[in-house]
Amino acid sequence: MKKVYKDSVLSEQVVSAVLPNGLKILIAEKKDFKTNFAIFGTKYGSIDTAFSVNDGETIAVPEGIAHYLEHKLFESEDGDAFARFSETGASANAFTSFDRTCYLFSCADRFEENLDILLDFVQSPYFTPKTVQKEQGIIGQEIRMYDDSPEWCVLFNMLEAMYEQHPVRIDIAGTVESISHITAELLYDCYNAFYNPANMFVCIAGNVDAEKTIARIEKAIKPVPPVKLTRAAFSEKNSVKEQYVEKKMEIAKPIFNFGFKEECVGERTPKECICSGLMLDILAGDTSPLYEKLTEAGLINDEFHSEYFQGNDYAAAIFQGESSDPKAVSEAICTEIERLKKEGISDNLFESARRSLYGMAIKSYNNVESIAMNLVDCAMLDVGPFDDIDIMRSITKADVEKRLELLNPECSVLSVILPKR
């Protein structure tokens, strides 16, 4: 099943297809570009710690196994995928987040050859007790490195205070203890459950022929039986566990994450996500009255920013940065939220922020990596590639003010890392 999405204003088009086995393919043809970017991914991330297959018993797996599996897939009996990509001149990488794992490459030429490598190694798992044990030491070092990162610690300290049950509170790589329980058998169980074509996607942007590329992908996908995958549900309160957490580390200046937890129900719609991002820009973006006030008071610097963080049964508006007085910053944010709730958002500020967001979205179509990553979001959320652009064109001030009402100071957490004295 194929479909062509077009946006006449942008003069852009995306060809999509869903293969009989359920694999989603999204391709943005950029005929005047020299670089190609391809992603082969799965809807499988660190929060998927319990699941069942074909209505069987629920399987609970060690935290960090999705990230572990990502590392192991690059290996095979004949070597590793990085070596194969280096021979073609491509730049390859992979990442695991809370809800997805993606394998990717970029190249200026030999695209079809590189695509074949990508499709091949992701479909060729090779796990043995010996290689799995070897990886435990490597990933254990990575976990310890993140444990020493103030920016990483301040985020997960906040998430641990915000969530009691949901696995989003756990480091994506797991812990040294949790990964010690990972076995080759468990890796195969997770691979067979989550790396089924019906749970996967291929997203490509660049100077490629969509029709020929779809045919090439379909030919390369190995036949596997369909899988009925059921993710375990997690009971999570809407309240937070703690409102303030702190830790001391070797840093020069305090850093903080200040987050507002939202109701733990399903995933937010694309419109809700865009409205939330726009709301945060209006509230605390670098052209907002609050940003100017905090900067003039010396309470923040250009490290200050905000983001909307959401997924399956979790969502939070988060403010991050450096400050000599994080509590004063959090109090100023709460004060500004209450002011905007009472007085409303000014027409000028709303329109300025909306146009800025719309402009950045249009600009992203000048970069193949940005396009491919946007297509991944479309595959994950099962939405059209230009839906976000349409939403930005039609969004209203009332839509944004509705999202502002969800910021409840009673469901907020301030996480701080202080310098050791």
**Which residue, among 21, 23, 56, 22, has the nearest Cα to 40 in the 3D structure?**
23
Please give the backbone phi and psi of residue 150, each rounded to the nearest 5 degrees, phi first: -60, -40
CA dist., res. 191 & res. 180, Å (int): 18
63 is an active site residue: no
- Catalytic-role residue among 70, 135, 272, 336: 70
Question: What three-state secondary structure class fits 39?
Answer: strand
Asked if 333 contacts 319 with a C-beta cutoff of 8 angstroms, the reply is yes
Asked if 397 contacts 347 with a C-beta cutoff of 8 angstroms, the reply is yes
* Helices (H), ranges, 163-202: 176-179, 184-194
Report which secondary-structure segment, H or E, holds 131: helix 129-147
Please give the backbone phi and psi of residue 319, each rounded to the nearest 5 degrees, phi first: -115, 135
Reported for 240-244, long-range contacts at CB under 8 A and 24+ positions apart, including other chains, are 240/161, 240/162, 240/411, 240/412, 240/413, 241/160, 241/161, 241/162, 241/163, 241/164, 242/161, 242/413, 243/161, 243/412, 243/413, 243/414, 244/161, 244/413, 244/414, 244/415, 244/416
DSSP state of 365: G
CA dist., res. 283 & res. 277, Å (int): 10
CA dist., res. 355 & res. 3, Å (int): 29
Asked if 58 contacts 236 with a C-beta cutoff of 8 angstroms, the reply is no
Question: What three-state secondary structure class fits 413?
Answer: strand
**Which residue, among 50, 194, 188, 48, has the nearest Cα to 132 in the 3D structure?**
188
The greatest distance separating any two alpha carbons of the chain, rounded to the nearest whole angstrom, comes to: 65
CA dist., res. 10 & res. 31, Å (int): 15
Active site (catalytic) residues: 70
